[in-house]
Amino acid sequence: MEHRIKMIGLDLDGTVLTEKKELTDRTKAAISKALAQGGVVLVATGRPWMGVPEELRDFPGMRYALTSNGARIIDTVEGRVIEEHLLFPRLAQKVLEICGKYDTLQEVYFDGQGYAPADQMAVVERYHNNPSMCEYMRKTRIPVEDIGVLVKKENRGLDKVQALFADMDERELAWRELEAEEGLELVGSLRYNIEINAAGVNKGKGLVNLGRMLGIRREEIMACGDGDNDIVMLKEAGFGVAMANGEDKVKEAADYITLSNEEDGVADVIEKYVLL
């Protein structure tokens, strides 16, 4: 590697977190050492800020966070939004209308907080097949009677809309409908979801923009990920790292493939290429 890594963007699910949604001691130690030597380490996730595990929200030395696929970048020390690219409420309403035709659990993010229909949250196992993801949803989403009513009431920009599908054929149909609408950016970090942001929003652009603000060049940025919403980030970063458990198209976009999220893949690549 020609350039020293000064910034590390870390996806959460399938990357820095295990399948049980845990942060291992080895990974915590590697992140701490990277921070101690002056590096910038941040989560770069599709999750809303309140969906980030508390130990990462409060991680000593970790100042920045890229959330909702780059729709919201925050300075966690000063408690301010550095950059945001929100979805217009009329577009969010159209997304909910389209996805509502199918068997979905839909949710919306406002100001870093996720909201989901109470009746669908009661049967979340229908949409998430990982018990740890079900528990994550229950702990981090605020249940409401109707998210469509919530969007109309708020009548302002959203971080993101997400739909989880019980049927993959229906997911494909919904994707085609959403793709035909202007002003939307679609990704699917899980094989059974669709994440909808404002057009042009992605983790890669957000990470590079933050680096520019901090005087860190693209070549000095490393990004780690495993899913569809990480592809642009891995391409944009100077050193893109795919997890061994990642999708094939993610691996194709990467400069390096590390171990899986169950084998401390993030810690392994930080130890090999970042720590002095």
Domains of the chain: 7-85+201-273 (3.40.50.1000), 89-198 (3.30.1240.10)
Question: Using CA atoms, how far apart are residues 11 and 61, in angstroms rounded to an integer?
Answer: 18
pLDDT tens track of the chain, all 276 residues? 667 999 999 999 999 999 999 999 999 999 999 999 999 999 999 999 999 999 999 999 999 999 999 999 999 999 999 999 999 999 999 999 999 999 999 999 999 999 999 999 999 999 998 899 999 999 999 999 999 999 999 999 999 999 999 999 999 999 999 999 999 999 987 889 999 999 999 999 999 999 999 999 999 999 999 999 999 999 999 999 999 999 999 999 999 999 999 999 999 999 999 998
Residue pair 42/185 in contact by the 8 Å Cβ criterion: no
- Burial string for 47-82 (b: 16+ CB within 10 Å, else e) reads bbbbbbbeebeebeebebbbbbbbbbbbebeeeeeb
**In 3-state terms, the chain is what percent helix, strand and coil (to 5)?**
40, 25, 35
pTM check: above 0.75: yes
The per-residue pLDDT for range 232-263, each reduced to its tens digit, is 999 999 999 999 999 999 999 999 999 999 99
The per-residue pLDDT for range 14-38, each reduced to its tens digit, is 999 999 999 999 999 999 999 999 9
Question: Using CA atoms, how far apart are residues 212 and 191, in angstroms rounded to an integer?
Answer: 32
